[in-house]
Amino acid sequence: MHPRDQTIFALSSGRAPSAIAVVRVSGSQASLVLTTLAGKLPAPRQASRRLLRNSAGEPIDEAVVLWFPGPASATGEDIAEFHVHGGRAVLAALFSEISNIPNTRAAEPGEFTRRAFENGKLDLTEAEGLDDLIHADTDRQRRQALRQLQGLLGDRARDWRERIIEASALIEAGIDFSDEGDVPAALRAPAVKAIKALHDEIAKVLAAQGHSERLRDGLVVAIAGEPNVGKSTLMNQLARREVAIVSPHAGTTRDVIEVQLDLDGYPVTVIDTAGIRETDDPVEQEGVRRARARAEDADLVLWLVEGGQAADPDARPSLWTSGDGSDESGGSVWIVRNKIDLGGAGATEPAGEFGISASRGDGIPELVEALVKFAANFFGTTEGALVTRARQRDLLRQASDSLRRSLELVEDGEELAAEELRAAAYALGRLLGRVDVEDVLGAIFQKFCIGK
């Protein structure tokens, strides 16, 4: 039997041990699995308490079981669910019994969602939204992922694709069936109008400001500077816990340390780097190299100096910025003057500079507030964001380019314009994971009754 035709099972809840564990079974053998372990099938979509027994008739566990006959199920197939106590021994016994039933096997990663996609329960953008929702760490990530799961982009893409197919049907009808009396003679003008409106809508989505794709990965902030200026202490202050070793000895931090933060719903990765200086120690040299590389790739660098110390541009030639605060890699650099409690600087600094005491916490709330504002500006407005992945943006750009070319070519030859429209529909089909080459012919015959 082909793997896609086999019945799959997996633990769908958290890792054992846990109070309750949910085991899902999907496929044609789901009813057999359920009746073998729990007796007769319960009423569809109604929870039923059952004693699960193994093949020898011995009890496994008291469980709550549910039955979802396909196609009205999450995957479109028959689904059985077992809600059991989440002990490792219980799960091991349950999995052993399920695997002994013919044509059943453990599911691969993402296989339930893949079957739901293949059975038309969700499109590719919704599947991506589901994945993002599972991995969301902040509330803003959750809201964005939920919008995708609810079909925010998929619904628009389906509408765009249908309208492209309609415009293509008009043009291709004019090419192939111009001698048919049922086909209007002037089909080009409404087709061009529709194509232009579609191009403008997709181009507007692509031109929208914001970094909604980046919200999935988060903002990267690197704490950098010369040795022993308080980078690790600042890291601990931002994380509100001891994540980095603090020592008065220079060169304590040898490798890059990362911590994930939630700043007002924005996901932020803060990086503590090795002190950047010239050294003969090969291990510290590697740490400095990594520090420079991560700082150059960061979206924002917090360059630490001691209170009254000048920010020496020679200390970090590849990171030093012009007056606008942007470095060569496109990120931004803020000067953070630490140890203001020892004198030499105040909490009020020029624009783009901050005075703090990482050991006492002075100036930290102001720095965090500035980081939140930076994140809000960096991500832009994502509340109505359609595009959340580079794949989606690339395919929308392909569709937009094809629509633009069709407008440019329609006066020179309807055949060329029709080919570009097919390319645009294909790109949106790839976006959704649905590509059907018969769609255009279907639209033509349905609307114009060709060949009756």
Interatomic CA distance for residues 298 and 20, integer angstroms:
42
Q: Is 289 annotated as a binding residue?
A: no
Gap between the Cα atoms of 150 and 160, Å rounded: 17
Q: CA 129 to CA 385: how far, in whole Å?
A: 12
Alpha helices by DSSP H, listed for 338-380, are 364-379
- 248: annotated binding-site residue? yes
Q: Is 229 a known ligand-binding residue? A: yes
Tokens of 26: 């999907």
Long-range contacts of 38-42 (CB under 8 A, 24+ apart): 38/63, 38/65, 38/82, 41/67, 42/66, 42/67
CB atoms within 10 A of CB 297: 13
Is 275 labelled a binding residue?
yes
Q: Is 382 annotated as a binding residue?
A: no
344 annotated to bind ligand = no
CA dist., res. 228 & res. 251, Å (int): 7
DSSP states of 147-179:
HHHTTHHHHHHHHHHHHHHHHHHHHHHHHH-TT
Helices (H) and strands (E) in the chain, counts: 14, 12
Which has the closest alpha carbon to 332: 351, 357, 358? 351
* Closest to 247 (Cα-Cα) out of 260, 262, 270, 229: 229
Cβ atoms 417, 409 nearer than 8 A: yes
Owner of token pair 């360059």: 303
121 annotated to bind ligand: yes
Q: Is 272 annotated as a binding residue?
A: yes
Residue 250 counted as an annotated binding residue: yes
Q: State the maximum Cα–Cα separation within the chain, in Å, rounded to a whole number.
A: 91
Contact in structure between 327 and 201 (CB atoms under 8 Å): no
204 is in an annotated binding site: no
Q: Known binder of ligand: residue 135?
A: no
Tokens representing residue 407 in the block: 């407008």
Report whether 72 belongs to an annotated binding site.
no
**What 3 state SS string does 78-104 have?**
CEEEEEEEECHHHHHHHHHHHHCCCCE
Cβ–Cβ < 8 Å for 69, 77: no
Is 245 in contact with 253 (CB distance < 8 Å)? Answer: yes
Q: Which residues, 6 or more positions from 383, have their beta carbon under 8 angstroms from its beta carbon?
A: 143
Beta bridge partners of 59: 53
> Per the annotation, does 102 bind a ligand?
no
User: Can you state the angle between helices 152-176 and 139-149, rounded to 10 degrees?
Assistant: 30
Report the binding-site residues for Mg(2+). 232, 253
Report the binding-site residues for (6S)-5-formyl-5,6,7,8-tetrahydrofolate. 24, 81, 121, 452
Report the binding-site residues. 24, 81, 121, 228-233, 247-253, 272-275, 452
Report the binding-site residues for GTP. 228-233, 247-253, 272-275
